[in-house]
Amino acid sequence: MSWTDERVELLKKMWGEGQSASQIAKELGGVTRNAVIGKVHRLGLSNRSTGGGASSETAKTEAKAKPAAAKPKAEAKPKAKPAAEPAAAPAAAARPAVMPARKAIIPAGQPLPPQPSANEISPEALAKVSEVEKKAKKLSLLELTERTCKWPVGDPATEDFWFCGLPVQAGKPYCEAHVGVAFQPMSSRRDRRR
């Protein structure tokens, strides 16, 4: 498998949506997540904050030891926009030309409501939670393990209290549904050193 335009495009799209490398790899097929990550890096879109802010947190407890590796800050985005540019309503009101910034025009696709919401739990996530709680294992505190969702349900002061107990996803304390309401944001894993 090679990185055709289409595949790269899908990669960019999914990565932009915050999909994990493994998910992207699975979707693409024929590649491993390593390949995806490698490509992501080569494309220079490893981190999604390009907004000009020079926010490279690499200075931590670094006494000395500086790898001094060549780090090309590849930027320069080609202008080619393959497709999906509505460009509708050109005859509308004149553009003030004082656009604050390039506000991405939403292609009006079907599944794309990733509006930059600050902190707001999606109704879907909440719905998923209540749905999940129905089939929760209702574990007691002592029954919790490393791999059981520790989301509390009910009032601890009463006997009507239990923990979700569903299998957790990855090192998180909750199952997928509860992780969804516990924290919104993207995968936050930072810090790299060597």
Chain contacts with DNA (rule: CB under 7 A): 1-3, 19-23, 31-35, 37-42, 46-47, 67, 69, 147, 169-172, 187, 189, 191-194
Shortest CB 63 distance to DNA, Å: 15
Q: Which is nearer to DNA, 37 or 121 (CB)?
A: 37
Given the complex with DNA, which of 71 and 81 has the nearer CB atom?
A: 71
Minimum CB distance to DNA, residue 159 (Å): 32
Residue with tokens 């080569």: 42
158 to 116, 144, 155, 165: CA distances (angstroms) = 39, 19, 6, 18
Q: Report in angstroms how near the CB of residue 36 gets to DNA at its nearest.
A: 8
Tell me how far the alpha carbon of residue 178 is from its chain's centroid: 16
Which CB, 103 or 194, lies closer to DNA? 194
Inter-residue contact 35 to 3 (CB < 8 Å): no
Length of the chain: 194
Q: How far is the CB of 74 from DNA (least distance, A)?
A: 8
If the CB atoms of residues 138 and 172 are measured against DNA, the closer one turns out to be: 172
